[in-house]
Structure 1
Amino acid sequence: MFLASGALFLGFLALMWSADHFVDGAAATARNLGMSPMLIGLTIVSIGTSSPEILVSLMAALSGHGDLAIGNIVGSNIANIALVLGATLLLAPIPVNSMLAKRELPLLTVITLATGVLIYDQFLSRPDGIILIVALVVTLFIIHKWQQQNRRPEDEVAASQECDEEIPELSQGKASLNLAVGLVVLLVSSRMLVWSATEIALWFGVSELTIGLTVVAIGTSLPELAASITSALKKHHDMAIGNVIGSNIFNLLAVMAVPGLVAPMSIDPTVFGRDFPIMAGLTILLAIMTLVGKTPKVLGRPSGFLLLGCYIAYTLLILFQA
């Protein structure tokens, strides 16, 4: 317990430091390569911060802990929307890119519902894994095409220019170094946090499924939390929300495919009957929040309180049922 508690504290400090360097490197790379911050958030940042979920799901699947693998994926997506975005909004309001609300968020909603249909039989097979990987490639191609079009309303151009001014002036060599070092420390520190939190949870006798949905999901979502908060505070708004959306897409299509490809498994009926509908409901709620209301749309503290309230209620539900 003493070792786990110390690792938890050190992992948190390392995570904060690495997130700052990682976001700076990603933002500078976006400028140097002529890419938009939104595209970086939806691809490089989201894939990098989703790496812990891949590692946990792969190891859990190979070890025969299917509940931990699936719980990690679904729990991480719930945490990304309700905990990560909710906490970020409490610290800094985020202007919503209208193209994101009309394209990427509906795409995430469709992917979420389609994934539900795919695993409705409560079994994740190798054909399912192949379908998810193919869908990932198609999705990345679609997002790339959307970003190439670069069609945004005039009232969002000024906000984009303001965001671009906040990107640090770094040479590509230094930006790549920040990106690489930040990513490595992110992965190591998040793994340290997951290990320590899991050890503490096991010491209290919590079930494997509950660990996957809560402790492990929160632990593997900490890179998204750190990256989104840091991006929002630095006024990289597109990266802050794009990271959450991109991570959830990547979790469903890439991370979900890993257990199916390496070790096909049955899915606990509780996950599909309780947790997956909550994940889909939160995704739809976020889509509604970005589309309904005054324009230009800004998500602020009321939205943050709502999302965090949903996450607290969900966590209490799991603990009560456990």
Structure 2
Amino acid sequence: MSQESGVAIAVLVLIGCFVAFFYLTRLFVSGLGSLAKRFNVPESVVGASVAAMVSSAPEMGTSIFSVVEGHPDIGIGTIIGSAIFNISLLIAISLWVKKCVLDEKVLKRDGLYYLLVVAVTIAAIMDGVLTRWEALTWFLLYVVYFIWLFKDAIAGKFVPKEEFKYVPTSRAIAYTCIGIVGIALSADIMVNSAVFVTGSLGLSEALFSLIIIAIATSIPDLFVSVEAARNGMGSLAVSNAVGSNIFDILVGIGLPFSFVAATPVYGNIGLSAIYLLVSVFVFLGIIMFRKSLGKKEACVLAAVYLSYLFIVILC
């Protein structure tokens, strides 16, 4: 088999993994949500926790297997790239679908906590190394955020809620197992395929993951937010993107990388982390002064993402 044929097959495998992520995520959310209801977990808490955990499962799986396979750049790059995509282009697409009126909680709780998360991320990786203790700190920060979210859910305050169809317990167990195993296998195959493609074409693993894999693994989040916007739930559309980013960074990087003593972080990823901070400031600046967001704001956020692509590719 020629190298060109091998690359073509690997690209098709990558596309297959991206499609699998979408359908497996839907199974996973239905199964896990139904199991939680079976054990009498309050529906508001189920919605808040399932929304972040399940829509972020592709990024989480990619991060775990990037560590297992010895290619951490792919895991970190995927999550940082996905975070930039979510906070800019994903929200832009949602706003383009339908004008959104935001709940003030999006700014006070999710937006400002996310700003803290990004600041901590930059502080941790700007020295070029992510240590085990830094990763553990990120994970603990998510525990704090989850407790906060849990209390808000119990109190009946706004939390991002994933809509899903409840199924019988036996089917819920099957869906959950299929979702976990399927996403894990897809993530492992995707990491190995990405390594093959980048190695064969002489591409940077970090750059490939920051753009291609990051966008692909964000598709479940995109569908949730677009559907929420279409149904007039603007706060859910925005809060889903922000909450998913918080989970991705604090748990998606924090948990698997806490098992590694130290991980080097290279140029493109450090630059992307700084640009992530810029995108967060733009996002917060918009929602601070405009509680009703539409196509004008969508164009600004889309421009933020396009400028990021231009900068990261050139550098």
State the TM-score, normalized to the length of structure 2: 0.78
What code does the residue aligned with 2:246 have? I
Counterpart of 1:242?
A: 239
Q: 1:178 to 1:314 in 2, by over 3 A?
A: farther
Supply the RMSD in Å over aligned alpha carbons: 3.6
Q: 1:192 to 1:120 in 2, by over 3 A?
A: closer
Contact kept? 2:81, 2:210, Cα under 8 Å: yes
* Residue 60, structure 1, aligned to residue 66, structure 2: yes
What code does the residue aligned with 1:311 have? Y
Counterpart of 1:266?
A: 264
Counterpart of 1:312?
A: 306
Q: 1:121 to 1:226 in 2, by over 3 A?
A: same
1:2-81 map, 5 Å: 2-7=8-13, 10-11=16-17, 14=20, 17=23, 34-36=42-44, 42-81=48-87
* Residue 127, structure 1, aligned to residue 133, structure 2: yes
What code does the residue aligned with 1:96 have? L
* Residue 230, structure 1, aligned to residue 227, structure 2: yes
For structure 1, the 5+ residue unaligned runs are: 153-159
Q: 1:103 to 1:34 in 2, by over 3 A?
A: same
Counterpart of 2:147?
A: 141
Identical amino acids, percent of aligned pairs = 24
Q: 1:86 to 1:203 in 2, by over 3 A?
A: farther
Aligned-partner Cα distance in 2 for 1:11–1:264: 29
Q: Which of 203, 217, 222 lines up with 1:220 in the alignment?
A: 217
What code does the residue aligned with 2:247 have? F
Pairs aligned (count): 305
Q: 1:18 to 1:169 in 2, by over 3 A?
A: closer
Q: 1:140 to 1:168 in 2, by over 3 A?
A: closer
Q: Which of 99, 109, 115 lines up with 2:121 in the alignment?
A: 115
Contact kept? 1:62, 1:263, Cα under 8 Å: no
Q: 1:47 to 1:218 in 2, by over 3 A?
A: same
SS in 2 for 1:265: strand
Render the CA deviation track for 1:145-164: whole Å, top value 9, x for unaligned.
23333357xxxxxxx9xx99
Counterpart of 1:275?
A: 272
State the TM-score, normalized to the length of structure 1: 0.77
Render the CA deviation track for 1:244-266: whole Å, top value 9, x for unaligned.
11111112211222224335212
What code does the residue aligned with 2:285 have? I
Name whichever of 21-30 and 53-62 sits farther off: 21-30
